[in-house]
Amino acid sequence: MEKQVALITGASRGIGRGIAEKLAENEFNVVIDDIVDPSQAEETLQAIKEKGADTFYVQADISNPEQRKSLVEQIKARFGRLDLLVNNAGVAPKQRLDILEATEDSFDRVLTINLKGPYFLTQLVANWMIEQKKQHPERTPKVVNISSISAFTSSPSRGEYCVSKAGVSMMTALFADRLAEYGICVYEVRPGIIYTDMTTPVKAKYDNLIANGLTPIKRWGTPEDIARAVLAFATDLLPFSTGEIINVDGGFHLRRL
């Protein structure tokens, strides 16, 4: 049987790499997208190949319309199909500033990369998925958006990031609603405090917060935790659900007394 194909954005490292490797382990071919130089993605590509998957890297900025189109065209040329889009790429503000002092430039940058880019990449991919579904009704294409606990948690020193992730949550609902008639399900995974090279600088701070009860499950999350949630969606374990959210946050989202 021809393998399914997954596209993961922002996948050269961290959470994206974890998702890519998990999908490769489970009979997906994988397309890695990121903005880094191809040499910086080589280790990830090799790890995926060792799991038996066909893979290639596309250096594309999803906030750029032409690069989004090129990304999809390259997947069409290489595989001729796309079964899963994982919108993982995102950035934090370059500088944390109080919401009373934050700049429009920072707001525009974060919203363009974290929300506008995934929104229009999903639009582009969804239209191709609809075409594929008409030709191959047995296929079950899907979209998974990686948001954050910041979608519902106030952080006034990085308001633009919170707004972008709240937008991703609404985007999930909108595309889930619109694409259901075509048999295309859309989901959201909400990571909490996840240990990656990007969070290493704040490790001491969050070690202390976790030890003092910030999350009921007293440990850091890992890319593996996120990848398992994505895999559940990707492998049709929830076929009668769409617009669904899995919180992968150690219970952070619980309201506790």
Q: Tens digits of per-residue pLDDT, 182-235? A: 999 999 999 999 999 888 888 999 999 999 999 999 999 999 999 999 999 999
Distance CA(52)–CA(50), nearest Å, equals 5
Place of tokens 């619980």: 254
Q: What is the mean pLDDT of residues 143-164?
A: 97
pLDDT of amino acid 200: 86
pLDDT at 160 over 70: yes
pLDDT at 119 over 80: yes
Distance CA(146)–CA(158), nearest Å, equals 18
**What fold does the segment set 4-248 form as a domain?**
Rossmann fold (3.40.50)
Name the pLDDT band for 240 (thresholds 50, 70, 90). Answer: very high
Would you tell me the crossing angle of helices 14-25 and 42-49 to the nearest 10 degrees? 20
166 token code pair: 């709240």
Q: Tens of pLDDT along 39-49?
A: 999 999 999 99
Place of tokens 């596209």: 7
Q: What is the mean pLDDT of residues 70-86?
A: 98
Q: What is the mean pLDDT of residues 137-147?
A: 97
11 token code pair: 């996948």
Mean pLDDT of the chain: 96
Would you give the end-to-end CA distance of the chain in angstroms?
Answer: 52
Active-site residue (options: 161, 182, 187, 206): 161
Q: What is the mean pLDDT of residues 136-155?
A: 97
pLDDT of amino acid 38: 93
Q: For 25, how many CA atoms within 13 A lie in the half-sphere containing its CB? A: 12
| 195 assigned to active site | no
- Phi/psi region, residue 142 (left: phi>0; alpha: psi -120 to 50; beta: rest), is beta
Place of tokens 């969050």: 206
Distances from the Cα of 106 to the Cαs of 61, 63, 65, 109, 171, in angstroms?
17, 14, 20, 5, 21
The length of the chain in residues reads 257
pLDDT at 22 over 90: yes
Q: Where are the beta strands (DSSP E) in 35-165?
A: 55-59, 84-87, 142-146
pLDDT of amino acid 257: 84
- Phi/psi region, residue 100 (left: phi>0; alpha: psi -120 to 50; beta: rest), is alpha
For 208-232, b where at least 16 C-beta lie within 10 A, e where not — what string?
Answer: eebeeebbeeeebbbbebbbbbbbb
Q: For residue 185, give every residue at least 6 positions away whose Cβ sits within 8 Å of its Cβ, in sequence order, or none.
A: 140, 142, 143, 176, 179, 233, 238, 239, 241, 242
pLDDT at 1 over 80: no
pLDDT of amino acid 197: 84
